[in-house]
Amino acid sequence: MSHLNWEKLSSKYLVRENWATLRVDSCKMPDGTIIPDYYVLEYPDWVNAIALTGDGKVILVRQYRHAAEEVILELPGGCMEANETPEEALRREMLEETGYVFNEIEFLSTVYGNPATANNKTYCYLATGGKKVAGQKLDKGEEIDIELVSPEKLKELVLKNQFGQALHTSGIFYALVKMGLLK
């Protein structure tokens, strides 16, 4: 499929801030067409998990998301730091956001939020055997409520469109199939 690849001719950064990096690329398509201004948002890669406690409850989080101006039901997870593997980032994020550690972490999928304009990936996992070992250690600007639900309730919530985060919804569907709750 390399015959579909574009050639990047040049790149220039317009914004380089902590949570907003925007570059503009000049590209050449396989047919020779030049795209002089292709805008790309750069973000760190993300991780999330359908996380099950030792007694089989799913850990969900609710938090305010300012861009959407809503409190959103989500999976725990977050941004990967430099030099972290996805699993290391997931274990760190789970401990920070929920206070849980997990016996098993199983990879489910890698998805892009919007590969047309953003460069980052989200790694989705199924984490099992969760044990509460600490309180939350939230980042500045984070306020997170934790909810524990059954896997059946998770299925009900996702089928009733109760998750506002598309990258989390896709991971939930992969996990429900893996757990035998969707065919």
At residue 115, does pLDDT exceed 90? yes
Domain ranges of the chain: 2-42, 46-178
At residue 1, does pLDDT exceed 80? no
At residue 16, does pLDDT exceed 80? yes
Res 160: pLDDT: 97
Q: How confident is the model at residue 103 (pLDDT cuts 50, 70, 90)?
A: very high
Res 141: pLDDT: 86
Question: How does the average pLDDT of the chain come out, rounded?
Answer: 96
At residue 164, does pLDDT exceed 90? no
What is the fold of 46-178?
Nucleoside Triphosphate Pyrophosphohydrolase (3.90.79)
Q: How large a percentage of the chain has pLDDT more than 70?
A: 100
In terms of C-beta distances under 8 Å and separation of at least 24 residues, what long-range contacts does 166-171 make, across chains too? 166/113, 167/46, 167/48, 167/111, 167/113, 167/122, 167/124, 168/48, 168/74, 168/75, 168/77, 170/109, 170/111, 170/124, 171/48, 171/49, 171/50, 171/75, 171/108, 171/109, 171/111, 171/122, 171/124, 171/125
Instruction: List, for residues 51-100, the tens digit of each pLDDT value.
Output: 999 999 999 999 999 999 999 999 999 999 999 999 999 999 999 999 99
